[in-house]
A and B are shown apart, each in its own frame.
Chain A
Amino acid sequence: MTGFVDRLRLADEQRAAFAAWPRRWWAGLPRPVRLGALVAFAAFLVALPILQPPVLTTTGTDFTGVLFTVGVYCLCALGLNIVVGLAGLLDLGYIGFFAVGAYSVAVFGSPQSKLATEYPWLVCIPIAIAISMVSGAILGGPTLRLRGDYLAIVTLGFGEIVRLTAVNSEVLGAAAGIPEVPRPPGERADGTRLFTIVDVTPFYWLVLALIFLVVLAGANLERSRVGRAWVAIREDEDVAQLMGVPTFRFKLWAFAMGAAVGGLSGALFASRQTFINPESFPVQTSLMFLAAVVIGGAGNKFGVVLGAVIVAYLPERLRSIDDGLLVVWYVSLVLGLATYLLLRRRGPRDGPRTYLRLGVVAGILAALPPLLLAMPEVFGSRGEIGQLRYLMFGLALIVMSVFRPQGLIPSRRRAIELEDRAKEVEPGATS
């Protein structure tokens, strides 16, 4: 019997070692090669709107516009990652800060707003960041002293309240919104404006540059005293407090930093739209940002960027896909999942039930496309995929929480933490 268990364990370790090969392969490459690959990848990203690569392009909607949206999602996911991934606080009203940033730019910069003076874009952006940061601090002040789940529900409410306030305030343009949001300065060689409504490419490059900056700043923050305090709070708040970490202050910091990045993304969004109204900020978008962080891997910068790309890009791409490619997508998704399940490292409490559950999930996945095709009156054309995205990513939130809470590209430290907890299951839990 023990022989069998040992064999199982050995097989498991071999599988785990095999599953870890991408990371080892990457780390084993010579440094110049790695650097070159990164530069090439960055150049590819910059060139995307010019290249319009055939498989990636969205045919139904403007590809550059989609790229910009994906970029904004990436920024939001990075900001939310500070709150959720590093400090371990659940913020469900991120769209609220996004809206605060957008409205700040509109109110301070638009000639149509009720404010007498009209500030240039470069002044508006710091104002927007500051206001969203302050709103984060105001919201976090009373709630962060309490349990984490109170924060979750308060922020969820906040997202909606910002929208309701905008609908009801004349200063914020009420339901009609605010037009003529200022655009960034800058001119082309021929003297025309660089940032226009027609051409989104400069906006995409701007957001790309900001993502780069936020990733850099985030990486440095993570390694700093502040970052270590955040991780300590996430792992065990009481212990962190006992060790002398002023937990409330650092939680407030994380919350305000997250809000600031959210405000910045909102400000960019407003400048690109040039017109905002309360409709632009539905509550569910907060949950999409959260889905990006959770699917990608909370705590890992690259993970959350990948998550944002999945959440913002896939539905747009699927909207305009033809049947043959859809089948390819679906088959590769199923194959990818199957590979993952085979290579998956067994958790300490995995048993037959885990596999039963996995079977149920696989069954649902397999049954979904025929089911969708069988109900044309409900799902109509493929254009309705935009409506299905909330359902899909809601399902993804549950599935990820149950089977892979560490996300697709996990933060190694957080993955270890989750595994560690699983070994300390409390008494009375029947498996």
Chain B
Amino acid sequence: MNIDFLIDNFADLSVTGLAQGAIYALVALGYTLVYGVLRLINFAHSEVFVTGTFATILTLRGIGIGPDDPVPSLLMVLLTLVLASIVAALSSGAVALLVERVAYRPLRRRNAPPLVFLISAVGASLVLMEIYALFLGRDNVRVGNLIKPRTQFTVFGADVTNRQILIVVSAVLMMVVLDSFISRTRLGRGVRAVSQNPDAAALMGVNKDRVIALTFLLGGLMAGVAAVLYDLNFGVTKFSAGFLIGLKAFTAAVLGGIGNLRGALLGGLLLGLAENWGQALLGSAWRDVIAFVFLIVVLMFRPTGILGESLGRARV
């Protein structure tokens, strides 16, 4: 126990935690969306996320920004970021759609028990992970040098860097866009209808298959953006990086209330904070254990999460 360290660095730890939590929140959206309509966990979502991290690296390489190159000019950085986000979001979205097509849709036709869905999703996750390992290696892959962290301002003695601002702002922006898409558009209404009552929605003329595919796609797009931010924040990725991120994002989703979009944001940020505070207390070796213990505790005391489970209730 290192309480002094926690108190001395409280503000710094919190800022770092918020930046990481924002990434967890974006990934958590994928779990929450799919859970909302299918009542199933998408086990392959962690690999959908990893797709994005590799797509980002390959895009940067394509432009010619390697890990050891100097940081490019500001305009170039912005253009690259936008391009990388689009490529990563699209590739993650495409992989998410593929997973739905191969591992979920055929089973829905057979009305398979949930256990079989979980097994085929686990299989999909394993296959994707191994494909990345075969083609991109089993070692850490370094990300191109894009943003040099520079302190912009200080809050309560904590340095806030440009990178952290970028991460939190883009994550919140994506959440707001998604939230208004679900609550305001026609397609979003379809998603809410299916999550409220799939059979009734189908009888009312909602194309259930299309709505389910849409939620996978939306989750994939969000995971793709999260992947870009992850690459910026950590600087390395790996074929198996999805495992822990997936577990943490799922914890975030459960903490906020699975199926609840705003809950995912809240859960992600809280988990990011808790993880960094806990790490300061217990030592960084226990960092990944903290999230897991957190998950168990949440399931014990408040399994419906802080904001409750609702994608489809009257208001999201």
Contact = CB atoms under 8 A, between A and B. Distances in A.
The judgment on whether A and B are partners is yes
Interface string A316-349: 0000000000000000000000000000000101
B119 A431 contact: no
Nearest to A347: B110
Contacts of A418: 110, 112-113, 116
A334 B103 CA distance: 23
A431 B130 CA distance: 32
Interface stretch (A106-114, A148-156, A199-207): A148-156
Interface string B126-151: 11011101110000000000000000
A165 interface: yes
B286 A402 contact: no
Given A92-B122, A143-B299, A149 B203 contact: no
B184 interface: no
A291 B125 CA distance: 13
Contacts of B134: 378-379, 387-388, 391
Given A168-B285, A418-B112, A421-B113, A394 B130 contact: yes
Contacts of A387: 133-134
Interface stretch (A5-13, A255-263, A422-430): A422-430
A416 to B, nearest CB: 13
Listed from nearest, the 10 A-B pairs whose CB atoms lie closest are A428-B202, A397-B123, A394-B126, A401-B120, A391-B130, A394-B127, A398-B123, A142-B300, A168-B285, A422-B110
30 contacts: A146-B299, A148-B118, A152-B118, A152-B122, A153-B43, A158-B292, A161-B289, A164-B288, A168-B286, A287-B122, A290-B119, A357-B106, A378-B134, A379-B134, A394-B124, A394-B126, A394-B129, A395-B123, A397-B119, A398-B102, A402-B103, A405-B110, A417-B113, A418-B112, A421-B113, A424-B111, A425-B111, A426-B199, A426-B202, A428-B199
Interface of A: 84, 88, 90, 92, 139, 142-143, 145-146, 148-150, 152-154, 156-158, 160-161, 164-165, 167-168, 283-284, 287, 290-291, 294, 347, 349, 357, 378-379, 387-388, 390-391, 393-398, 400-402, 405, 417-418, 421-422, 424-431
Given A139-B296, A428-B202, 6 more contacts: A165-B289, A394-B129, A398-B127, A425-B109, A427-B202, A429-B202
Interface of B: 40-41, 43, 102-103, 106-120, 122-127, 129-131, 133-135, 198-199, 201-203, 206, 208-209, 243-244, 247, 250, 254, 285-286, 288-289, 292, 295-296, 299-300, 303
